[in-house]
Amino acid sequence: MTKANRNATPRLDEHPGEGAVRGTQRMEIFADAVFAIAFTLPLLEIKLPEAGPGFGAALLDLWPSYLAYILSVLVIGIYWAHHHFSGAIYRTTGHHFLLATLLFLSLIAFIAFPTRAFAERLSDPQTRETGAIFYVCALAALSATWLLKWKTGCKTNDVDDRLDANYVRRLTRKYEVTTGLLLLAAAIAFLRWEAGLALAAVVTLANLRAPETPRYIEEAPAIEGDT
Amino acid sequence: MTKANRNATPRLDEHPGEGAVRGTQRMEIFADAVFAIAFTLPLLEIKLPEAGPGFGAALLDLWPSYLAYILSVLVIGIYWAHHHFSGAIYRTTGHHFLLATLLFLSLIAFIAFPTRAFAERLSDPQTRETGAIFYVCALAALSATWLLKWKTGCKTNDVDDRLDANYVRRLTRKYEVTTGLLLLAAAIAFLRWEAGLALAAVVTLANLRAPETPRYIEEAPAIEGDT
Amino acid sequence: MTKANRNATPRLDEHPGEGAVRGTQRMEIFADAVFAIAFTLPLLEIKLPEAGPGFGAALLDLWPSYLAYILSVLVIGIYWAHHHFSGAIYRTTGHHFLLATLLFLSLIAFIAFPTRAFAERLSDPQTRETGAIFYVCALAALSATWLLKWKTGCKTNDVDDRLDANYVRRLTRKYEVTTGLLLLAAAIAFLRWEAGLALAAVVTLANLRAPETPRYIEEAPAIEGDT
Amino acid sequence: MTKANRNATPRLDEHPGEGAVRGTQRMEIFADAVFAIAFTLPLLEIKLPEAGPGFGAALLDLWPSYLAYILSVLVIGIYWAHHHFSGAIYRTTGHHFLLATLLFLSLIAFIAFPTRAFAERLSDPQTRETGAIFYVCALAALSATWLLKWKTGCKTNDVDDRLDANYVRRLTRKYEVTTGLLLLAAAIAFLRWEAGLALAAVVTLANLRAPETPRYIEEAPAIEGDT
C-alpha cells in the first residue's frame, strides 16, 4: 500500500473509551435503509382483490389497508425527518449509542404491525379497542426508545459538543414531554381508547412542525482561535 | 473530542428558517433506498406455479404478472432517473421540502399496487376498466406529488439559486404540463379507459427522453470572482 | 445561502450532451441497494414447516428452497462483485447509461424467479426440463443486459477515458464471449437441458475469478503535467 | 470531460494483485443495506390475527413470532455493530475479500429462518429440540463465516497495515474463541439442546460488550514524518 493511500482517509479511531468511536455517516446509511424498508414494506400487506364484477367495490373496501399504509408512512416519515435533522447534531457514534440506535430502529421496523392491528381491524366493533390500545402503546414505546437514544448520545458525548447547552436542554425537554404525553395516552387508552388515541394523534402530528434550528456556542471559535 | 475532529465535517446548520436545512446527500440516500425497494418488491408478487405436466404453460400464463413487473420497473425507473437528475439541481433540504419528498416517495412505493390492479386483471373483461382507471389515476397522483415537491423546493429556496431562471421556468412548465396531461388522462379514463390509458402511456414514455442539461447564470462566477 | 455553501460541492453539470451527466456515486448507491434487496429477498420464499414429529425431516425436505437461495445469492453476488469492480471504471453517468443500468438491474431483481422455477422444481421429472430452460435463458438475458450496459457506457463516454484502450478492448471481448456462450447454452438447453445447464454453470462460475487489474494510459499524466 | 473532473476523484486502482482493489465505502454500503433488509424483513412473518372477540388473546398468542423478531434483531444488530466497528479496521477490498464478505452476508440474510424454526416452534415439545439444534448450528456457521472473512482480509492485506500487530492478534484470537465455542455449543446441542442453546446464548450476548479500541503502530507516523 502506498503512503498516499495510508494517509488518504482519516479515521476517528483515536478516541479512548467505549470500543471504537466513529463518525455518523455509516450509522446514518444503515438507519436510512431501515427507515426506507420500513416505509415501503407495508405495501406488501395490501392484497389485490380477485377479478370479477365486484372488483371496483372490493378495491374501495380495502380502505382499512390503505389507512394502515398511510399511518405507517406518516409515523415513519415524521421520525425519519427528525432523524435526518438530528443526524447533524450527533457528531460521533460509540458502541452504546449504536446499541440504543438499534433498539430504536427495531421499533421503527415493528411499528407497521400494531398500525395494521389498529387500522385493518378498525371496522370491527369488538376488535378495534384492542387494536387501538396496542397501537397507542407501540407509539409510546417507539417514542421512549427515541428518548433513550438521545439521552445515551448526550451521556456518551456523541452529541456535538459545540451546541449551545440551552438548545440541547430544550431538545431534551421536548423529547421528554412527547414521550410523557404518549405514555399518558397509552394509560388513558386502557380506560377510553378514543381519548388515548386522540391524544396520541395530536402529539404525533405536532412533530410535523419543523424542529428548531440548532444553535451553537458563539464564543467557541474565538477560544479556539489560536489553532 | 479533539479540535481537529470538531472542525472536520462542516455542517449547513447556519441556515435560518425552517428547522434545520442540510445538504441533499442523506435525503438522496433515503430516496434511493425507497426507489430501490419499490423497484425490487414487485417480484415477490409473482407466484411460482406448482410442479406438473402443465408447468411450461403455467409459466407463460403468468404474463399479466410479468407485465405488472415490467410496468412497475418502467415507471419507477423513469422517476428514479429524473430524481437522480434533479438531485444535482437541489442544493439543500429544509423540513417542508423533506415532507413533500416523503409524500412523493409514499406514492412511489404505492404505485406497484394500482399497476398490479391494472396488469394482473387485464385479461378479465369485467375488471379491466376499473383496473385501468385506478392505474391512470395513480399515475396522475404520482405526477402531482412530483410537481408539489418541485414547487416546494423552489419556494423554500432548496433549488440551486445559481441556476438560470429561464431554465427553472422551463422545468416548472414541463412538470406542470405532464401533470396536467395525466390529470386529463385520468378524467378521460372514466369515459373511455382505452383513450385515457393511451394518453397516460404517451406522457409517461415521453419522460424516457433525457432531461435538458442544466443552465447556470453565466455572470455569477464573475460577480463572485473576488473570492 | 452563503457563498461558501454555494461553492462547497462541485457538480458535473457542465457536461454538454444527453441531459445531465453526473458522477457515479448515486447510481452506485441505488444499484447496491437493488443488489442488496435482490440478494436478501429470496429468503422470504423459504416457508417454515408446521410443528410436529416430522419437523426435522420437513426441514431437510426444503433442500430445493435452500438450493434456490444458494443459487440466487451466488449469481447476484458474482454480478455485484463485478459491478463493484466496474464502479471504478465508469466515471460519469449520462441519461442513456442510467436507462441501460435500470434494464440490467430489473433483471438482477428478476433472476430469483427463474432460479426458483429451476431449483424448487428440480425434483419433479416432468417439470425440471422446463425450469432448467427458463433458468438458462434468464442467465443469458441477464448477461446480455450487462453487455448492453457496458457498451452503452463505452459509447456515451461514461467509461473513464484514462483507461488503456487495449484494456477496455479485452474487457469488452470478455463480456461478449460470456454473453455469447450463455446464449449458446440457452440454445443447447432446448435440445438437451443438462448440457445447456452445465455450460451455463461453467461460464457463470468462471466469473468467480478476480477481474484483471485496470490499466491506465501511462502518458496521460505527463501531457496534463502543466496543470 | 474537463481536466478538473478527470482528476477530481482519486481511485485506488493502482494496487497490483487480485483484480481491482478499492476502498471500503461501497462494500460497506452494500453490506449495510443487506443488514438493514435482514433486520427489517422478519416483521413480514408476523401474521395479523383475524378480527373477533378473541383478538387480544390472539395478539398475545403471537409471542413466539415476537420472540423470533427480537432474536433476529438482536443477533443481526450485534453483528452489524461489530461490522460497523471493523469497517474502520479494513482499509481496502480485494476480490477474494469481497467473496468472503458475500458468503458472510448470505448467512446474515439466512439467519432469520433458523431463528424462526427455533422461536416459532418453541411451544411444541416434539419440535423444539430440532428447532434449537438448527438454530445453534446456524449461529455457529454464521460465526465461522465472520472468522473466514476476517482471516481473508488479514491474508490479502485488506486490513489496515498501520494497526498494532498485537491488537490484530487479540482480535483474531477473540473471533477464533467465539467460533470455537459456538461450534462446541452446536455439538452439545445434539446431546442436550438446552445446554447447547445456553452456551450459544452466553457467547452471543458477550458480544454486546464494546470491542477494544483499535491500537496503531506508534512509530509509523515518525517514519513517514518527512512527508
Residue D48 at interface with chain A, using a CB cutoff of 8 Å: yes
Determine what percent of chain D is predicted with pLDDT higher than 90. Answer: 66
Q: Residue A180 corresponds to which amino acid? A: G
Residue B37 at interface with chain A, using a CB cutoff of 8 Å: yes
pLDDT beneath 50, residues of chain B = 1-18, 219-227
Give the separation between CA C116 and CA C189, rounded to whole angstroms.
17
Give the separation between CA A104 and CA A127, rounded to whole angstroms.
28
Residue D57 at interface with chain C, using a CB cutoff of 8 Å: no
Distance from CA of D207 to the nearest CA of A (A): 11
- Judge whether C58 and C124 are in contact, CB under 8 Å: no
The torsion defined by the Cα of D81, D87, D90 and D94, in degrees rounded to 10, comes to 110
Distances (CA, A) of A192 to A132, A136, A184, C143, C187: 10, 12, 12, 61, 69
Cross-chain CB nearest to B26 (options A51, A55, A87): A87
Residues of chain A positioned with their CB less than 8 A from the CB of B105: 39
- Is B95 contained in some domain? yes
Average pLDDT, rounded, for chain A = 86
Enter the pTM of the model: 0.88
- Is C176 contained in some domain? yes
- Is B68 contained in some domain? yes
Dump pLDDT digits (tens) for C22-65. Answer: 778 888 889 999 999 999 999 999 999 998 889 999 999 999 99
Sole residue written with cell 406497484: B112
- Is C50 contained in some domain? yes
Substitution target from D12, D43, D62, D70 for chain A, most A beta carbons within 10 A: D43
Cross-chain CB nearest to A33 (options D32, D73, D92): D32
Give the separation between CA A185 and CA A137, rounded to whole angstroms.
8
Average pLDDT, rounded, for chain D = 86
Give the separation between CA B140 and CA D125, rounded to whole angstroms.
55
Question: Which residues 6+ apart lie within 8 Å of D155 measured at CB?
Answer: none
- Is B102 contained in some domain? yes
Q: Do D59 and A3 touch (CB under 8 A)?
A: no
* Complex ipTM value: 0.86
Question: What's the confidence (pLDDT) of residue D158?
Answer: 83
- Is C4 contained in some domain? no
Structural domain boundaries, residue B73:
18-206
Q: Do D211 and A20 touch (CB under 8 A)?
A: yes
Average pLDDT over every residue of D190-201: 97
Give the separation between CA D180 and CA D144, rounded to whole angstroms.
9
Q: Which residue has the higher pLDDT, A53 or D186?
A: D186
Q: Return the number of other C-beta atoms located less than 10 Å from residue C215's C-beta.
A: 14
- Is A164 contained in some domain? yes
Rg (CA), chain B: 22
Residue C9: pLDDT over 50? no
Dump pLDDT digits (tens) for C145-186. Answer: 999 999 999 998 888 888 888 999 999 999 999 999 999 999
- Is B90 contained in some domain? yes
Structural domain tally of chain B? 1
Question: What's the confidence (pLDDT) of residue D39?
Answer: 95
Residue C226: pLDDT over 50? no
Q: Do A52 and B126 touch (CB under 8 A)?
A: yes
